[in-house]
Amino acid sequence: MKKIRVLIVDDSVLVRQMLEEMLSADPEIEVVGSAFDPFDAREKIKALHPDVLTLDVEMPKMDGVTFLKNLMRLHPMPVVMVSTLTEKGADVTFEAMDLGAVDFVTKPKINLVNTFEAYTQEICSKIKVAALVKKPMLERQYSRYIANLNAPPKVAKARSPLSKSAGTASAGQSSSPSKHSNKIIALGASTGGTEAIKEVLMRLPASTPPIVITQHIPATFSLPFAKRMNTVSEMTVYHAKDGQPILSGHVYIAPGDKHLMVVKEGGGYVCRLNDGPPVNRHKPAVDVMFRSVTQNVGSNAICVLLTGMGADGAAGMKEMQGVKAATIAQDENSSVVWGMPGEAVKLGAADYVLSLDKIPKKILELV
């Protein structure tokens, strides 16, 4: 079987050595070389023809995002970003995902003794997924990035006078009553999901019923992600807090280290954060959120499953369909990885299988 050829791009000798050791341990992966900066990488891409790049976010001479812009414009190829565990690192990583990076891992720590095996498994898995992504998908993502820069997508209504507190719940959170107040939209995603979620939220008006979101993401990155979504959405986006009321016109994103659940309380709905064990190897898990919505919202829910590796959310979507909730799965052609939505389709759990650009309109039709 042909091995996946990987080029490591990082300015740190130690990180390059660690990544090479981890990736070389997998019999399906071959590290064909390493580069210490983007200029070195450019020459080695021409000479070595790698299938996948690992790319450091922060490098001298040219940062990773600037290099990625040039790469996606001239020679699109699958890239896994290697990011620092900081808010700045998160912001740069999300910009890289905008441009077409397939996924990211956090930069390995020097004292990886207790987590070496888990980290090796994570990065090898993401390299294998990245290798499956075809050039047309990367070209579409880059074209979408350019299109959004030149003409941001319009939503159905202008912004309502909601308080846009950046990503965190304020004591005065409020929203006027809505004819949709009994509806809740539950949305799950994984690989490729940060950009897919953005594409959906950018196209929904402030009058949209509340949305709860579980995206597989590290704990350090979930708050910056919520803040980023808050800047592009007509709705007000929160990093969900335990006990936070769920109100129309608002979005609640699960913290990266807690399961997000929806429970009925006092005539309305609130967010509950659960610190239980991972489900489907994930915490937060989409299935946990979907099942809580099934139990507490029932047929008033709309369930959306976007791009992602694995099967998390597929069983939960089937359960939601069983209580007559409307269910939407992203189609294969527009998904970075058709794992989670593909599994839902195999189960017969999706009432609608739609391209990403058609999902916002379908949500508005169903509410």
Active site residues: 190, 216, 312
Q: What are the strands, taking DSSP E only, across 1-40?
A: 4-9, 29-35
Helix (H/G/I), strand (E/B), else coil: 14? helix
Cα R_g (the chain), whole angstroms: 20
Question: Whole-angstrom Cα distance, residue 94 to residue 90?
Answer: 6
Q: What is the DSSP string of 154-166?
A: PPSSPPPS----S
Tell how strand 211-215 and strand 103-106 pair up.
unpaired
Contact 204, 364 (CB under 8 A): yes
Two tokens, residue 278: 């991972």
Q: Is 184 helix (H, G, I), strand (E, B) or coil?
A: strand
Q: Compute how many other C-beta atoms are within 10 angstroms of the C-beta atom of residue 349.
A: 23
Cα separations in angstroms, 333 against 47, 100, 342, 347, 361: 31, 15, 11, 19, 18
Tokens 């350019």 found at: 146
CB atoms within 10 A of CB 288: 26
DSSP 8-state assignment for residue 60 = S
Using alpha carbons, list the distances in angstroms from residue 221 to 29, 86, 351, 353: 28, 8, 32, 29
Long-range contacts for 215-218 (Cβ within 8 Å, ≥24 apart)?
215/188, 215/189, 215/190, 215/253, 215/254, 215/284, 216/189, 216/190, 216/191, 216/282, 216/284, 216/286, 216/308, 216/312, 217/256, 218/85, 218/106, 218/256
Q: In angstroms, rounded to a whole number, what is the distance separating the alpha carbons of residues 97 and 194?
A: 8
